[in-house]
A and B are shown apart, each in its own frame.
Chain A
């Protein structure tokens, strides 16, 4: 019920007192609440009644039948305050950072492993190729020296290269030969020495020579026919990619037929 006379609150104490129970128990309408709160100071009786109802409410709350809470509830409550949310946050963040760091380390390890795997495979392939080359050269040298048909000739220098000389050794039963060269002049850049075997007008390349600073070097070579079938051997200076036919200056030349 809302009092009709609200113009003079001092005269309407009864109206306020009538609203006090609703106001105290949270049942009053917003309009009644405003009316009580703005006029309460003018009505000491209403103030006393309100204090009584506040005390009555407190006692009603305390008057409920008392029952024992679960035994473990106290410990759960203590555990709840022992692990506050504020403390958990940095822990979660540190976990996330740890996981991130771990993930980055794992990725780095995987990438490193892939790199080294490729590198090892590459080196293994190169080693295999080198081993095959060495094995082939060893076989050639073995075939060259382990027969009775071993032959050799000296390839004398041409007139322009008096200090140059070469020895050619081969097995009459095979297509394998060994050339040893020394005293060869240093070539200009872009040139290389090349060994030729010739018969008539035919010339077959037996390979190119890698010489040291003193003009010394060796070449173990293998051609498609027995070396005895050729007549001459010569070494010429050719472009460093090699030539199909001899075109450069002859450094040494010698007859194979002994």
Chain B
């Protein structure tokens, strides 16, 4: 398990352009970064390009990690997420508007089930599935695809007000479920 001390040391060495540290960083976080990029883009080539862009931003020090604001992994995944959404918009790719189809894609992907994060990921996805399907679907479009209220309303033909209400309600409900989950499993902290 990667400690915060290791991450700080990696980033310190990467700042000095230590290629071995950079390789170690990729070996540690390449898979979650690539997985998130693929989840957003659903294309292996684009996912690889976004993964490379993300790590090159770290190498070129275009953005700085502040350990006080979060873990290195969260910081990397945030960069990945925004880079992927930017790429999604440039490619003018359209979301899959059938929630069932999204779930099918997830089930068909070669999932690695031998890491601790997988358990947490499964747990959180189970929480999402406890939401009404129409709310979970809109959260998926807003969060993973980076769509605005108006874009979602246009794409789904759902009235704008309904989109706003469903999203807000769904997010608040998801937070409640997540907090309950955290309370029930204190070791996750």
Can you list 7 A-B contacts with CB-CB less than 8 angstroms, sorted by A residue number?
Answer: A49-B175, A59-B178, A63-B125, A65-B109, A65-B121, A66-B117, A66-B121
Least Cβ–Cβ distance between A123 and chain B, in angstroms: 65
Chain B residues with Cβ below 8 Å from A58 are 70-71, 74, 77-78
Determine the residue in chain A with the shortest Cβ distance to B85: A26
B117 vs chain A, min Cβ distance (A): 6
Complex contact B31–A62 (CB within 8 A): no
Q: What 1/0 flags go to A14-37 for Cβ under 8 Å of B?
A: 000010011011110000000000
From residue B105, how far is it (CB to closest CB) to chain A in Å? 9
Chain B residues with Cβ below 8 Å from A18 are 168
Closest CB-CB distance, B94 to chain A, in whole Å?
Answer: 19
Contact across chains for A67 and B109 when beta carbons are under 8 A apart: yes
- Set of chain A residues within 8 Å of B34, measured between Cβ atoms: 67-69, 73
Chain B residues within 8 Å of A22, by CB: 164, 167-168
Cα A61 to Cα B121 in complex, Å, equals 9
Residue A81 is within 8 A (CB to CB) of chain B in the complex: yes
Smallest beta-carbon distance A196→chain B, Å: 100
* Bound-complex Cα distance A64 to B168 (A): 22
Quote the shortest CB–CB distance from A23 to chain B (angstroms).
11
Report chain B residues within 8 Å CB of A25: 142-143, 167, 171
Q: Which residue of chain B has the shortest Cβ distance to A49 in the bound complex?
A: B175
A-B contacts at CB below 8 angstroms, number = 127
Q: Are B175 and A69 in contact (CB under 8 A)?
A: no
A74 to B124, CA, bound (A): 29
**In the bound complex, do residue B39 and residue A65 qualify as a contact, i.e. CB atoms below 8 Å apart?**
yes
Shortest distance from the beta carbon of A22 to any chain B beta carbon, whole Å: 6
Q: Which residues of A contact B44 (CB under 8 A)?
A: 70
**Would you call B174 an interface residue if the criterion is a C-beta within 8 Å of the partner chain's C-beta atoms?**
yes
Q: Are A73 and B30 in contact (CB under 8 A)?
A: yes
Whole-angstrom CA separation of A49 from B125 in the bound complex: 20
Interface string of A172-204 (1 = CB under 8 A from B): 000000000000000000000000000000000
Contact B59 A81 (CB under 8 A): yes
Cβ contacts B22-41/A at 8 Å (1 or 0 each): 11001100111011101100
* A65 and B77 contacting across the interface, CB-CB below 8 Å: no
User: Which of A63, A66, A70, A74 contacts B23 (CB under 8 A)?
Assistant: A74
Query: B157 to chain A: closest CB distance in Å?
Result: 19
User: Within A37-90, which residues are at the interface with B (CB < 8 Å)?
Assistant: 49, 52-53, 56-70, 73-74, 76-78, 80-82
Assess whether A78 is in contact with B22, with CB atoms less than 8 Å apart: yes
Residues of B within 8 A of A82 (CB): 19
Q: How far is the CB of B12 from chain A (nearest CB, A)?
A: 17
Residues A62 and B74 in contact in the complex (CB < 8 Å), given A53-B175, A56-B175, A67-B109: yes
Roughly how many angstroms separate A24 CA and B178 CA in the complex, as a whole number?
A: 16
Most interface-central of A52, A57, A62, A70 (chain B CB within 10 A): A62
In the A-B complex, the 4 residue pairs with the smallest Cβ-Cβ separation, listed nearest first, are A63-B121, A69-B34, A21-B171, A63-B124
Asked if A7 is at the interface (CB within 8 A of a chain B CB), the reply is no
Residue ID in chain A nearest B73 by CB atoms = A62
Q: Let me know if B174 and A56 touch, CB within 8 A.
A: yes
Q: How far is the CA of A44 from the CA of B179 in the complex (A)?
A: 17
CA–CA, A147 and B34, complex, Å: 111
